[in-house]
Structure 1
Amino acid sequence: MKNHRWMKGVALGALGAVIGASTSYAQQLDVITVTAQKREQAITDVPIALTVVEGQTLDDFEINTLDDLQLSIPNFQVTQTGIGTQMYIRGIGTGNDPAFEQSVAQFIDGVSYGRARLIRAPFFDLERVEVLRGPQSVLFGKNTTGGALSLVTAGPTDEFEAGVSSTYLFDYEELTADAYVSGPITETLGGRVAIRYADSGGFVTNSNLGRDEPQREQFAIRGVLAFEPTANFDATLKVEHNTFDNTGREIEVVRDEATVGPTYAQALNAVGLTGGMTNTQFDFVRDGNSLEYSDNTVFNTTLTTNTDFDLGTLTTVTGYVTYDRNEFADLDFTNYYILTGLVEEEYEQFSQEVRFASREDQRLSWIVGGYFQDNTLTNGDVTGFGPAITNLGYAPIANVGLERAYEQEATAYAVFGEFNLDITERLRLIAGLRWTYEEKEASRQITATTAPDAFGAPLTTNPVAIAIVQGGLGVALNNPGAAGHDLNQSREEDRFTPAITLEFDASDNVMLFASYKEGFKGGGFDVRGNSTAFFEFDEETVTSYEAGLRADLWDGRAQFNATAYLAKYENLQISQFDGTIGFNVGNAGETEVSGIDMDGRIALTDSLSLAAGLSYLDFEYTDFRRGNCAFGQTPDGDVVNGVQLCDYTGRRGRFTPEWTGFARLDYVRPVSDRIDFVSTLNAGYTGEHNIHDNLDEAAVQDAYTLVDLRVGFESDRWDVALIGRNLLDEEILTFAANVPFASSVGANTWYAVPLRPQTFGIQGSVRF
């Protein structure tokens, strides 16, 4: 890594300026306005555990994906895995399966983005991100058992504005460039166009291919038109096209432990695959011989209208989202062609929400509405067995491909209402109810073909190959003479999800609240499974209790929020690697999550402000006897499809650190009439937690603290700054799972996904 001692000196100097800041009288905090309850409210008036990250913060620290957002949000984790992306709040999230809708649902401008692939999409030109913890089952919908992320994009401005900005990170040759133009077009029409281009050179070295990975490239363009012909009506149309392509991946083998025989690296050498695995420690160096890629395109358009009447406001939100994904991945993590994955996925979604919100200046106010969504998912993948699998004793399946073809159509309808009653001047009751009906139909077929890296190849007729795939690898096939794997099923379900909240103003500046909520996420059908026995999985439900306070303190110069919670989940939807080439999808029986979230802001002086948060989490599987066993673990759970699994009851889940927290210091001081010195110091703490797909007890990521710093100068028209990310150069793994076939030689071998190490860069922007 390059020597950045001179930049560290700048960083330490800026930190000294922060610590030695002026002690002049502090100003009041700016009011943060959110729409967490589908109305514009001050954040301290919302009885929800809520964190807001504003657009300027996102830009300052080059936060372009949800992965980058973790630093500023306690109890929130996002990780890449071998085949997908996972997002967790309070330890609740959704595993690896393209058919899963997300327990932590993502909404952009009010439109649901419920698929894991959409979590990976970079974002830009945002007004703010609202992170809502716990189930949000009335106003946001059924798929929010763990929480909701609401991303609000920037809209047209009242006056002409334009700007360009760029960030360059030295270590990874990462360039991000943005531009926007915004303002009135006519007296009744405003517009905004924003463009993003980003290119990155990667931070993990593929020693076999001689390149850094993942190399990433993104291009996005968004246009927004805001039409307001009268004082009683407005309409906003947004259209966006986004492409993000990756070459290579940041996955490396970090453990290769022998138990009853050789290590996996030694075993590969012994069977003639010399140098198949050369690096088995965490050092940002990986093996791999496949030319991996992931090409993604997302298109969305949203039309939002508001019509004011004497009684209230009618709002409509019409959304259309589509994406396609083409991906090729090395799944054996060696320097030979043993196992690969080829994926083609397409998704199309249309949604329509209509809601009417009464005026708030009355004793009883309310919101009622209806929701419709229709979506189609098509997923095809080929698991390819390369020629080198012959050396592992599987010669009959060399150059064979397992082709899955999955299609799903789903439709959902909902009606909802929430009522806010002022019982007294200080006591309020908020009661809501949502009814959801959903139907799904899905089909899945798996066949063995004569090509390991192509779709539509002829079927194999080799009976030995078919026997090995079905008997040795546990994959049911639809080839002639095989067991048959051609499924087509449908399901329908409906559910009421109530929510009740009591608010009490203990004083003019302190609000107490307590709430009871229920939520559910619909069941569905497994894309990635190999067996025909468990194609369908059940719905996920939650019952949640929360209590807390919201306080404005010190004459508006400080705020403090605290929320204690207890949530009980049934049939939590999970997906776990089976140790060979597949994933098992199912439901955890019962899970209990409890803890407390605290955060606050304070204006220490006119120049210095502090924001901080701290969260405690207690997570326990209270009845889960169908977990996939970790390597070497003695099965002690239920017998499923003739195989005894492991009992996870009493254990913590993945990504469930006991303590998480963050702190942010902002310092602004004039150096002339037109120029300010600015600095921001961010620190995020995450306690130790398990990161393994099958909860291997050895896979514990130690506690770590991520520290970022931005130091620079700004005026009304320009700014320039130096940034440092992960200043302590913490070495962090975010996910781990076992390498396919390693267990066959008695080796406990893991691949893992690292977080990017320390980096420094420079930023600049100009506004017109």
Structure 2
Amino acid sequence: MDFKILSSTVSVFAVIIAQSGMSAAMAQTETTPEAPHTTETSPTIEESSDTRLETVYVTATKRNESAQDIPIAINVVDGNLLASKGVGSLLQIEDLAPGVQLVRSPTGKSRTGVTIRGLGSSPGTSLFESSVSLFVDGVYAPRSREFTSALFDVERIEVIKGTQAALLGKNTSAGAINVIPRKPSDEFSAELTSSYEFELESTSLVGTTDIPLSDTLKLRVATQLTDQGGWTENIISGEKATAMEDFSIRSVLVYEPTHNIDFTLLAQTSQTDLSGTPAEIVVTSPLANALQAANGYPNTPDGELNRKNANGLNYPGEPATENLKNDRLQLTANFNIGEHTLTSVSGWSAYQTEGTVDADGLAGNYLYQEDNEKSGQFLQEIRLVSPSHEKFDYVIGGMYFDNLLKANIFTDVEYPFGPAPGVNIAGAYLTNFNQKTDAWSIFGQGTYQVSDRFRTIAGMRYTDENKSFTTSRTLIRPGLYSLVVFPPTPEIILERSEDNFDYSGALQYDVADTIMTYLSYGKGTKAGGFTDSASNLANSEFDAETAKTLEAGMKWNGAGWQMNTAAFKTEIDGFQVVTFDGSRFVVSNTDLESTGFEIEGFWQATNNLRVMANTTFAEARNRATGNRIPNAPDNTGSIGIDYNRDINSKLTLNANGSLDWRSDVTYQQDPDAAVRGENFTTLNLSIGIAAPEKNWELSLIGRNLTNENSASFAYPTPFVGSSSATSEMPRTIALQAKFSY
């Protein structure tokens, strides 16, 4: 959908309701313990003589509740913190949310893998849905490419851990991430944030404006323009990968005709262009060296992880490219019926991508792909929420989901060797697929107040899901690869249907007014599906996965400090493993488990100084082999400070810093199939000055200041006996200026 259509939709909606006479977290305060609607954040700020604590409300339970009052392990990342650290992508939030890891495809594509507590999905085939789901303002986003979208003008991000399928629904067997965009305010305002990053020569421009159209109608428009330089240099061309250009714009229109009714319409579009393949050959082989020499580049690759490579697409140095377009339209309506709230959430989204893939990692054109992919979906949810703080509180509802995914992938292979003389690894073919998914579910959760301090919670969800998969493979050029390994296949239709019953339960006890403890257990199911990369397309189907999580936790608020702890064990039967073996994504089922604990908290030492710390220990293992699970470090954590004070009557000093770490990590089911990512620790600092009224601010933001490096993903290079990896992002230093009106 063109953005002109999205913008016109918002404009027409505003004009119609205006002409009809139908003439809102840490930066806001609220005098009541609960906000009136489920679509906004309403923190309460409690003050003592020398400290200040914030109560942050979240919507993880389908109603506005304090994050400290719900029996769920949840991290809330404030939008102001994202801005102060220069975060412009979801791929960067792992430094701010303990236990979260995000990995982009090594080919430079927009496919992304995400894990929480060591469980989740690696980057994979487009048909593969993540075990950690992404939501945008409560609307499900099923495809991994949507994690690549720009992150701007955000109120908060909720990272919800553990198995949450009973209430949150589809594909949340390992957790969920909910991105909450900012809503318009009641007064006109405008803000412009510009930054320049010196190391990668990147630029970013974010503009927002709030426009009150009437007493009942208000509009917020936000846009971001990013030009990010890559950090892996191609020594043949001198260009760096992965370079990215992104333009995104979002409009949020809120209409409140009465105190009992409100509508929120969100329209967003983004255009992202990626260039270059960041993978480096870090373990070389005689065959890889010989192929490079044959293309005129002897002594490359150098066999080191040093943010340098020597690859090429059709010719040495030519970068692979991708163009990705994302569109989203959402309408949320809340109706207060007595003391109950009826909520309708309607969401439509689509993306289209086309690009080229340099999969061989070498200067020659040995393994080449072109792909064109389209996805469109519609989601409708209706729920009824009872008033809070009653003897029995409940949420009941239903959801319908429809998704259509289409793609065609051209693969061309031409290696000058093979299993026998005169039989080379060669051939070309075209794979087409079309997958239709529809699902519906009913769900409910109730909380019974046994006493003033003791509560019991129970939830359930029944889901019926159907998939229809149509695929074929057409021979383009005969060869061993296109006739034997991936033989031509006439069109076939595969179908699967499944019914899943998921549930959750919790016991919650307030030891004291400031200490809440809980014990919870939940079951979640991720439906099975199909893969486009099977040698025999008739064997494309893979089974569902079932996760069960047992968790015990405590949330403790003190005088000027807060600490949350949780111990957990998650077992997944039939976990859907996706492994990139260098030439394709292989999907299979196995059994996993993750056991560990996490601690997070902060100390508000003074009104000016806050100290934060968090750590997650998660021993995630394959139950069949005992091997570590890919993309699952045993330990991640962060310790940091946030300092603010007035220098004089005209200037305020703002500074924050953190030391973030993860332990070593593997990236393949066989830990010895590729190099590991070694222990990785980064030092991040930012310092700025601002006017006390915050109408301008100037900041210097540094990330990974010691320029550490480690493999952020690794895999065997196809057919040549070497190993490839991508590097972590290097040191960046950005100057950021913000002006508000």
Same fold (TM over 0.5): yes
Partner deviation per Cα, 1:191-211 (whole Å, 9 max, x = no partner)? 000011000222111111221
Aligned to 1:753: 726
Q: How does 1:489-568 map to 2 (within 5 A)?
A: 489-532=494-537, 534-554=539-559, 557-568=560-571
Cα distance in 2 for partners of 1:249, 1:577 equals 15
Partner deviation per Cα, 1:627-659 (whole Å, 9 max, x = no partner)? xxxxxxxxxxxxxxxxxxxxxx11111122222
Tell whether the 8 Å contact from 1:559 to 1:600 is kept in structure 2 after alignment: yes
Q: Does 1:469 align with 2:482?
A: yes
Cα distance in 1 for partners of 2:349, 2:236 equals 39
Tell whether the 8 Å contact from 1:577 to 1:694 is kept in structure 2 after alignment: no
Cα distance in 2 for partners of 1:114, 1:733 equals 27
Tell whether the 8 Å contact from 1:198 to 1:219 is kept in structure 2 after alignment: yes
Cα distance in 2 for partners of 1:67, 1:503 equals 34
Tell whether the 8 Å contact from 1:193 to 1:223 is kept in structure 2 after alignment: yes
CA 1:183–1:611: 2 relative to 1, 3 Å: farther
Aligned to 2:81: 57
Residue 365 of structure 2 aligns to a residue whose secondary structure is coil
Aligned to 2:35: none
Aligned to 1:155: 183
Q: How does 1:179-198 map to 2 (within 5 A)?
A: 179-198=207-226
Aligned to 1:131: 159
CA 1:301–1:501: 2 relative to 1, 3 Å: same
Q: 1:45 corresponds to which letter in structure 2?
A: D
Aligned to 2:686: 710
Cα distance in 2 for partners of 1:371, 1:684 equals 39
Aligned to 1:587: 589
Long gaps (5+) in structure 1? 1-23, 451-461, 479-484, 624-648
CA 1:698–1:203: 2 relative to 1, 3 Å: closer
Residue 124 of structure 1 aligns to a residue whose secondary structure is coil
Cα distance in 1 for partners of 2:95, 2:581 equals 32
Residue 139 of structure 1 aligns to a residue whose secondary structure is helix
Residue 45 of structure 1 aligns to a residue whose secondary structure is coil
Q: 2:541 corresponds to which letter in structure 1?
A: E
Cα distance in 1 for partners of 2:274, 2:662 equals 28
Aligned to 2:34: none
Alpha-carbon distance, 1:252 to partner: 1.4
Aligned to 1:663: 639
Aligned to 2:445: 418
Aligned to 1:646: none
Tell whether the 8 Å contact from 1:265 to 1:276 is kept in structure 2 after alignment: no
Aligned residues: 683
Aligned to 1:690: 666
Q: Does 1:318 align with 2:331?
A: no
CA 1:252–1:693: 2 relative to 1, 3 Å: farther
Cα distance in 2 for partners of 1:113, 1:410 equals 14
Q: How does 1:419-434 map to 2 (within 5 A)?
A: 419-434=446-461
Alpha-carbon distance, 1:168 to partner: 0.8
Long gaps (5+) in structure 2? 1-47, 314-318
Q: Does 1:733 align with 2:711?
A: yes
Tell whether the 8 Å contact from 1:105 to 1:143 is kept in structure 2 after alignment: yes
Tell whether the 8 Å contact from 1:273 to 1:391 is kept in structure 2 after alignment: no
Cα distance in 2 for partners of 1:29, 1:575 equals 43
Q: Does 1:117 align with 2:179?
A: no
Tell whether the 8 Å contact from 2:682 to 2:705 is kept in structure 1 after alignment: yes
Q: 2:702 corresponds to which letter in structure 1?
A: G
Tell whether the 8 Å contact from 1:324 to 1:347 is kept in structure 2 after alignment: yes
Aligned to 1:73: 97
Cα distance in 2 for partners of 1:573, 1:318 equals 29
CA 1:274–1:137: 2 relative to 1, 3 Å: same
Cα distance in 2 for partners of 1:405, 1:394 equals 32
CA 1:150–1:232: 2 relative to 1, 3 Å: same
Q: 2:486 corresponds to which letter in structure 1?
A: V
Residue 30 of structure 1 aligns to a residue whose secondary structure is strand
Alpha-carbon distance, 1:698 to partner: 6.2
Cα distance in 2 for partners of 1:156, 1:38 equals 21
Aligned to 1:767: 740
Partner deviation per Cα, 1:242-267 (whole Å, 9 max, x = no partner)? 111111132211111x5xxxx23333
CA 1:29–1:698: 2 relative to 1, 3 Å: same
Alpha-carbon distance, 1:592 to partner: 1.6
Residue 656 of structure 1 aligns to a residue whose secondary structure is coil
Q: 2:528 corresponds to which letter in structure 1?
A: G
CA 1:208–1:80: 2 relative to 1, 3 Å: same
CA 1:445–1:607: 2 relative to 1, 3 Å: same
Residue 690 of structure 1 aligns to a residue whose secondary structure is coil
Alpha-carbon distance, 1:669 to partner: 1.2
Partner deviation per Cα, 1:705-748 (whole Å, 9 max, x = no partner)? 11211101012210001111101211121110011111xxxx3x
Q: Does 1:379 align with 2:407?
A: yes
CA 1:354–1:763: 2 relative to 1, 3 Å: same
Of the three residues 379, 383, 403, the one matched with 1:351 is: 379
Q: Does 1:278 align with 2:323?
A: no
TM-score by length of 2: 0.89
Tell whether the 8 Å contact from 2:579 to 2:668 is kept in structure 1 after alignment: no
Cα distance in 2 for partners of 1:345, 1:227 equals 36
Tell whether the 8 Å contact from 1:692 to 1:735 is kept in structure 2 after alignment: no
Residue 55 of structure 2 aligns to a residue whose secondary structure is coil
Residue 222 of structure 2 aligns to a residue whose secondary structure is strand
Cα distance in 1 for partners of 2:187, 2:293 equals 71
Q: How does 1:644-683 map to 2 (within 5 A)?
A: 649-683=625-659
Residue 537 of structure 2 aligns to a residue whose secondary structure is coil
Identity of counterpart residues, as a percentage?
A: 29
Alpha-carbon distance, 1:272 to partner: 7.1
Residue 166 of structure 2 aligns to a residue whose secondary structure is coil
Alpha-carbon distance, 1:577 to partner: 3.4
Cα distance in 2 for partners of 1:287, 1:343 equals 23
Q: 2:588 corresponds to which letter in structure 1?
A: G
Aligned to 2:334: 306
Of the three residues 682, 688, 700, the one matched with 2:676 is: 700
Alpha-carbon distance, 1:766 to partner: 0.3
Aligned to 2:64: 40
Cα distance in 1 for partners of 2:603, 2:421 equals 64
Residue 401 of structure 1 aligns to a residue whose secondary structure is strand
Q: Does 1:440 align with 2:467?
A: yes
TM-score by length of 1: 0.86
Cα distance in 2 for partners of 1:266, 1:127 equals 50
Tell whether the 8 Å contact from 2:682 to 2:708 is kept in structure 1 after alignment: yes
Q: Does 1:29 align with 2:53?
A: yes
Q: 1:621 corresponds to which letter in structure 2?
A: N
Cα distance in 2 for partners of 1:651, 1:160 equals 56
